[in-house]
């Protein structure tokens, strides 16, 4: 069982991201999520975390796969990834400062820009595939000195 969940909430061509106030990924834009509690399912966790961090109650979401990683040959971690789509007319005003950080709708092209250093570094590798279809994919990243040195993805 992986310890974390993350959800990317899409509205039109934007995704709701959180600029984190705390480590890990302090000061970087990321999806919304958090740590699984004892005996909690991954689905229950992502619904709880989205509600706690945004106030949004999702009616449905899609499980998209797993992201795992190794850091400097010692730490291994991972998370379950979800996508949710809200109607184009869904109203949620941002930017919004919360205990966890700042929530804001960000354009997908901005998120995936090669020149964007403000989002969590692995997002540009897995998010395009997860946006294009409903396949479940798993990605593994290897980090050395806070830099991705290799990754692979599979369906």
Give the span between the Cα atoms of 128 and 135, in whole angstroms. 12
pLDDT at position 1: 82
Give the span between the Cα atoms of 47 and 45, in whole angstroms. 5
pLDDT digits over 35-66, tens only?
A: 999 999 999 999 999 999 999 999 999 999 99
Give the span between the Cα atoms of 5 and 33, in whole angstroms. 5
pLDDT at position 155: 87
Cα 146 → chain centroid: 18
pLDDT at position 89: 96
What domains sit in the chain, N to C, each tagged with a CATH number?
4-154 (3.90.79.10)
pLDDT at position 23: 85
pLDDT digits over 94-140, tens only?
A: 999 999 999 999 999 999 999 999 999 999 999 999 999 999 999 99
What residues contact residue 59 under an 8 Å CB cut-off, 6+ apart?
none
pLDDT at position 95: 98
Could you identify the residue written with the tokens 């995936």? Answer: 112
Give the span between the Cα atoms of 33 and 31, in whole angstroms. 7
pTM of the full predicted structure?
0.94
In which region does residue 68 sit, left (phi positive, over 0), alpha (psi from -120 to 50) or beta (all else)?
A: beta
pLDDT at position 140: 96
């Amino acid at each position: 069982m992986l310890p974390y969940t993350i959800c990317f909430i899409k509205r039109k061509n934007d995704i709701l991201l959180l600029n984190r106030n705390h480590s890990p990924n302090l000061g970087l834009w990321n999806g919304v999520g958090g740590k699984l509690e004892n005996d909690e399912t991954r689905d229950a966790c992502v619904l709880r975390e989205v509600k706690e961090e945004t106030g949004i109650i999702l009616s449905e979401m899609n499980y998209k796969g797993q992201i795992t990683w190794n850091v400097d040959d010692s730490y291994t971690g991972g998370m379950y990834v979800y996508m949710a789509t809200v109607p184009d007319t869904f109203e949620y005003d941002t930017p919004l400062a919360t205990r966890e950080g700042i929530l804001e709708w960000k354009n997908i092209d901005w998120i995936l820009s090669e020149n964007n250093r403000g989002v969590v570094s692995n997002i540009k590798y897995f998010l395009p595939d997860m946006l294009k279809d409903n396949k479940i994919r798993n990605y593994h990243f290897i980090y050395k000195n806070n830099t991705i040195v290799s990754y692979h993805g599979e369906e």
